[in-house]
Amino acid sequence: MRWIFPKPVNSEVTSTLEKALEIHPGIASLLVQLGVDNVEKAVALLHPKLSSLADPFLLPDMDRAVSRILKAIDSGEQILLYGDYDVDGVTSVTLLHRILVEFGGKVRSFLPNRLRNGYGLSKKGLEESFEAGKPDLLITLDCGTSSKQEIAYVYDMGIEVIVIDHHECATELPECVAIVNPKRGDNFEYLCTVGIAFKVAHALAKRRRDVPVALKDYLDLVALGTIADVVPLIAENRLFVIKGLEQAANSKWAGLRALNRVAGLSQTLRGPDVSFKIAPRINAAGRLESAGIALELMLSSDEITVQKLVEQLEQLNTRRRELAKLVFQQAEEAVAAQYDTEKHKAIVVGGKNWHPGLIGIVAAKMVQKYHCPVIVIGFDAEGIGKGSARGVEGFSLVDALRHCDSYLLKHGGHHLAAGVTLEEGKMAEFQKAFGEYAMKAFSQISSEREVAPDIHLELRDVTMHLVEGYEAVGPFGTNHPEPLFLLTKVHAAGAPTIIKEKHRSFTFRQNGTTARAIWFNSADEPLPAPPWDVAFTLGRNDFRGTSSPSIYVQHLRSTAEAFE
Ligand SMILES: [Mn+2]
């Protein structure tokens, strides 16, 4: 492990920020490292305001989309929203559905079924969505950008289409009224679909100032989709998440309030509450049955219906958890039988009837355990396998799967998450080819890991003032990583203790200051001789009305070694 000392920052700017904003010097240096070089930019980052939201008409085709939607509303046309079964899909459909109703639109919503229709626009899914009556205008959310043929098919039936989506643009875009997709322009490319849907709502409100809509009420939906879709937490996404999480605790939507209730969330939500408690519950329906339950929950205002639906969702989530555990165990058995875990650089496992809605979760869990790309494949009775691939930073699944193209019926996705379809008879060859490709790819990547803390502190600097500033710079996520802090020459006051046979708990001591710290899952690692250099992340510990900083050790070594 190579330890790299934090880069020096411009101390003049740092002290200006520190004094003008009364922030902790560590936070001032952090801001400078993030490229903030004046007070105005710092205020914008620490205290983002809704009034600073950009003009929604800056998005591609927004003008055309809004004009067509208003025409549909004014002439009483039927509008059908067609979404996707993940959280971004469910929240964006919910948001637009409710907004269109507020503006007097006649609207109906449909989510495809993962098992019956698959992801995105499909002929089968479209036909199913038209069963309750053909609309005059179809709006696709979180899908449609790459569905040229399917959209032409919809036009053949005399139905016009608007696409609201954030997926990458294919070479040939569909022909339709409007494709509101920021990936077509050179701005807002970080938005996910619910963020774009909010922009559509904002644009409608600007055109129809006589309709009183409280856009703020919708921000919690935007925060949910934005966090669950792991898009970059930068620029307006940061604003959406901060304001939306505040809103979520007292949501206007009965369905979201019920979700908070069953998840045991009563105060201001934090990012992980959405990632680990709310999003899995919304997704559970789409994974095992139909995401329709989640959508109905989010669209319903009747408390009795909401209670019934949230209980149904809770049961599905429990079943989802049990089934995923079972698939994970079987996948682990396959790994034990087929791989030498010391040497392998990739894992490909498959099994009969592993649920297609669960293999993605299992693959992600295995990546955490084995720190290498993992593909988990479920084969059906006909021997056709659908697999979910999850990767690691620095390795492209897109390139790897392209290399193995001849063994696959289909593959697609991103560098870190992808899907494959293959015949059972090709499994052994695919396993071998993918493994060999990974072996070669990883031999070219430097294997020495680096510890590169952002800010050097003294133990006495780790105060609630620091924690408050750190929280204001957050929430952290994609493209806005959690900062790593550094302490040097730290001693232990008393022997560290082992908690639950897994974690280590310390009392650090430095120049007369002491503080508690915890190092998760480190019980098996040998503890080097003190004094130590410690790289840590920060948290808050709320206990009986008092708050204190939490020090989460990420790396620890003897101080004697040199820094770079
Ligand atoms: Mn999405």
Provide, rounded to the nearest whole percent, the portion of the chain with pLDDT above 70. 99
Q: Residue 418's pLDDT is what?
A: 87
- Show the tokens assigned to 376: 């988990």
Distance 283 CA to ligand 1 centre (A): 13
Q: How far is CA 331 from CA 116, 361, 363, 428, in A?
A: 25, 12, 9, 16
Q: Residue 448's pLDDT is what?
A: 66
Q: What are phi and psi of 485, to 5 degrees?
A: -100, 160
481 burial type by CB count under 10 A (0-12 exposed, 13-18 middle, 19+ buried): exposed
Distance 146 CA to ligand 1 centre (A): 14
405: region left, alpha or beta (phi > 0 left; psi from -120 to 50 alpha) = alpha
Which whole number is the average pLDDT over 537-555? 92
* Ordered domains of the chain (ranges, CATH): 2-37+451-558 (2.40.50.460), 54-312 (3.90.1640.30), 339-443 (3.10.310.30)
Please determine, for residue 239, whether its predicted confidence score (pLDDT) is greater than 70: yes
Which whole number is the average pLDDT over 273-294? 91
Q: Residue 112's pLDDT is what?
A: 93
Distance 12 CA to ligand 1 centre (A): 42
DSSP per-residue letters across 459-525: GGG-SHHHHHHHHHH---BTTBPPP-EEEEEEEESS--EEETTTEEEEEEEETTEEEEEEETT-TTS
pLDDT digits (tens, 9 = 90+) for 120-153: 899 999 999 999 999 999 999 999 998 999 999 9
Helices 279-288 and 303-338: crossing angle in degrees, nearest 10, is: 80
Q: Residue 435's pLDDT is what?
A: 95
Type of residue at 44:
A
Contact 139, 96 (CB under 8 A): yes
CA pair distance 405, 52, nearest whole angstrom: 47
Distance 195 CA to ligand 1 centre (A): 10
- State the maximum Cα–Cα separation within the chain, in Å, rounded to a whole number: 78
pTM of the model: 0.86
- Show the tokens assigned to 103: 């503006």
Distance 423 CA to ligand 1 centre (A): 29
CA pair distance 417, 164, nearest whole angstrom: 22
DSSP one-letter code for 305: H
> Model confidence at 447, in pLDDT bands (50, 70, 90)?
low
Which whole number is the average pLDDT over 309-321? 95
Which whole number is the average pLDDT over 438-459? 85
> Model confidence at 563, in pLDDT bands (50, 70, 90)?
confident
Please determine, for residue 446, whether its predicted confidence score (pLDDT) is greater than 70: no
Contact 280, 317 (CB under 8 A): yes
Cβ neighbours of residue 319 under 8 Å, at least 6 residues apart? Answer: 284, 288
In the predicted model, what is the mean pLDDT of the chain?
93
3-state secondary structure of 60: coil
Q: Residue 40's pLDDT is what?
A: 92
443 burial type by CB count under 10 A (0-12 exposed, 13-18 middle, 19+ buried): exposed
Q: How far is CA 524 from CA 80, 425, 498, 519, in A?
A: 56, 41, 10, 11
Distance 85 CA to ligand 1 centre (A): 10
Cβ neighbours of residue 89 under 8 Å, at least 6 residues apart? Answer: 83, 111, 141, 142, 143, 193, 291
pLDDT higher for 214 or 171?
Answer: 214
Distance 90 CA to ligand 1 centre (A): 10
pLDDT digits (tens, 9 = 90+) for 383-404: 999 999 999 888 989 899 999 9
Distance 319 CA to ligand 1 centre (A): 25
End-to-end CA distance of the chain: 12
DSSP per-residue letters across 323-351: HHHHHHHHHHHHHHHH--TTT-S-EEEEE
pLDDT digits (tens, 9 = 90+) for 494-505: 889 999 999 999
Sequence-ordered strand ranges (E) for 353-474? 374-379, 384-390, 410-413, 417-423, 450-451, 455-456
Q: What are phi and psi of 147, to 5 degrees?
A: -105, 55
